[in-house]
Amino acid sequence: MVRAIVGANWGDEGKGKITDMLAKESDIIIRFQGGSNAGHTIINNYGKFALHLLPSGVFYGHTTSVIGNGVALNIPYLFKEIQSLVDRGVPKPRILVSDRAQILMPYHILFDTYEEERLAGKSFGSTKSGIAPFYSDKYAKIGFQVSELFDEDTLKEKIGRVCEIKNVMLEHLYHKPLLNPDELFQTLLEYRDMVAPYVCDVSKYLYEAMKEGKNILLEGQLGSLKDPDHGIYPMVTSSSTLAAYGAIGAGIPPYEIKNITTVVKAYSSAVGAGAFVSEIFGDEADELRRRGGDGGEFGATTGRPRRMGWFDAVATRYGCRIQGATEVALTVLDVLGYLDELPICIGYEIDGEVTKDFPTTVKLEKAKPVYTKLPGWKCDIRGIKKYEDLPENCRRYVEFIEKEIGVPIKMVSNGPGRDDIIIR
């Protein structure tokens, strides 16, 4: 059985926690898109971890962690991350890396940084992990597949060719030091030696695993609204964040994905630029940010304060629909226990008309939130294990959201730990 765990919002919904939890019953966990640009925070019996490139199932002895072909593979980063787990007492995870994954090159990070510098105030708020330059090169067909590391002559020739293009940009657009093809070749040979023991024909491996009836998780990064096609373009990421892409980024048939567990956050948060209709500011935002997540809403990769907002039913209904959500995990509900009233954005007013449909970006920029308010529950719900034991107003909030988004909320997360979960 293949299950995807993906985000309905702007990312940071708590997918890492849900993946870590569901990995207990799984054999294989796969990252299928993105790179080290976003972080997943996981709290379990080994401590608190911020993972960026490894799937969130690495903490169990029985799981295999896979880097799929759709990922932007930063090789030294991957090994640094594995080492940081081992250093803290986590058993060395079983890792497989797709021979068709492409390599995030040192110059992708440079280009990302230079471009943000060049755009100055008009930047996209990139994490400068090289993701946009990486995917641009992949589709411009000047990327490097892991498989290419193993043919030195072809590799050398291609590096020469790619450096020619890159150096024109470095010299004339960015006015920065040029790339040295020989140095780059040496770096790639080092990468080859690091990754060699883990390289695998992943789609074949998964084909066999599915035949044997193994439980497989596809772990998404970011959320629906950061998808390059269906999100708030251009303030999006550079690879698809949708469950559908799990089929491509892992190399499995789309019909094998039976369950699409879509993670929805009980309030809104976002990083980077872009329209954010239910955003709140000032003291109200500071308080939610301080209480949010586990120890505050600050980016796991950059430490940047996240933008905060009330629950947005318009964006979340769309986010669930575009994921094809079969069930929802509602997270960080415990954080909201301090509020007297909980505003929920149930419509967007655009040019004097109210809509419940999530618009394209140009219209989204003009949208103003239409709120309804539900009464708060004014207590701490952590530790509660049964849905019926939640305060009535808390259940009302959950059921209101469920009705708005039109997908069953099967899990309610009431704390950052593995066991802080209510199964409905």
- The residues annotated as belonging to the active site are 12, 40
> 66 or 159, CB closer to ligand GDP?
66
- Minimum CB distance to ligand GDP, residue 40 (Å): 3
Cα angle: 8, vertex 318, 256; to 5 degrees: 60
Tell which phi-psi region holds residue 95, choosing left (phi > 0), alpha (psi between -120 and 50) or beta. Answer: beta
Using left for φ > 0, alpha for ψ between -120 and 50, and beta otherwise, residue 351 falls in: left
| Under rule CB under 6 A, residue 298 binds ligand GDP | no
Contact with ligand GDP (CB under 6 A) among 8, 11, 200, 267: 11
Contacts for 182 with CB less than 8 Å, ≥ 6 apart: none
Q: Which of 3, 4, 8, 15 is in the footprint of ligand GDP by CB under 6 A?
A: 15
Question: Number of residues in contact with ligand GDP, rule: CB under 6 A?
Answer: 25
Is the CB of 69 or the CB of 302 nearer to ligand GDP? 302
The nearest distance, CB 318 to ligand GDP, in angstroms, is 18
- Interface with ligand GDP (CB under 6 A), residue from 312, 331, 359, 409: 331
Q: How far is the CB of 174 from ligand GDP (least distance, A)?
A: 31
Per CB under 6 A, the segment of 9-17, 69-77, 97-105, 121-129 that binds ligand GDP is 9-17
Decide whether 54 or 105 has the Cβ nearer to ligand GDP: 54
Q: Is the CB of residue 386 less than 8 Å from the CB of residue 424? A: no
**Binds ligand GDP by CB under 6 A, chosen from 294, 327, 349, 402:** 294
Q: How far is the CB of 185 from ligand GDP (least distance, A)?
A: 35
Would you say 198 or 397 has its CB closer to ligand GDP?
Answer: 397
Give residue 241's identity as a one-letter amino acid code.
T
Is 41 in contact with 15 (CB distance < 8 Å)? no
- Does 17 contact ligand GDP by CB under 6 A? yes
Q: Give least dist CB 105 to ligand GDP, A.
A: 25
4, 13, 49, 166: which one binds ligand GDP (CB under 6 A): 13
Residue with tokens 């802080």: 420
Which contiguous run of DSSP H or E holds residue 193? Answer: helix 181-195
CA-angle at 57, arms to 232 and 76, nearest 5°: 75
**CA–CA separation, 191 and 75 (whole Å):** 6
Which range binds ligand GDP by CB under 6 A, 186-194, 195-203, 329-337, 400-408?
329-337
Binding to ligand GDP (CB under 6 A): which residues in 32-71?
38-41, 43
As a whole number of angstroms, the distance between CA 69 and CA 202 comes to 8
Give the separation between CA 57 and CA 63, rounded to whole angstroms.
7
Minimum CB–partner distance for residue 61 and ligand GDP (Å): 22
Q: Could you say which residues in the range 393-422 bind ligand GDP, by CB under 6 A?
A: 413-416, 420
φ, ψ at 67 (rounded to 5°): -100, 110
Under 8 Å between Cβ of 415 and 334 = yes
Are the C-beta atoms of 72 and 46 separated by less than 8 Å?
no
What is the token pair recorded at 29?
Answer: 């966990």
Interaction of residue 1 with ligand GDP, rule CB under 6 A: no
Interacting residues with ligand GDP between 73 and 132 (CB under 6 A)? none
Using the contact rule CB under 6 A, the part of the chain among 14-22, 62-70, 143-151, 310-318 near ligand GDP is 14-22
Number of H helices, E strands in the chain: 12, 21
Cα first-last separation, the chain: 21
User: Among residues 17 and 128, whose Cβ is nearest to ligand GDP?
Assistant: 17
Give Cα 302 to chain centroid, integer Å.
14
CB of 409 to ligand GDP, least distance (A): 13
Interacting residues with ligand GDP (CB under 6 A): 7, 11-17, 38-41, 43, 293-294, 300, 331-332, 334-335, 413-416, 420
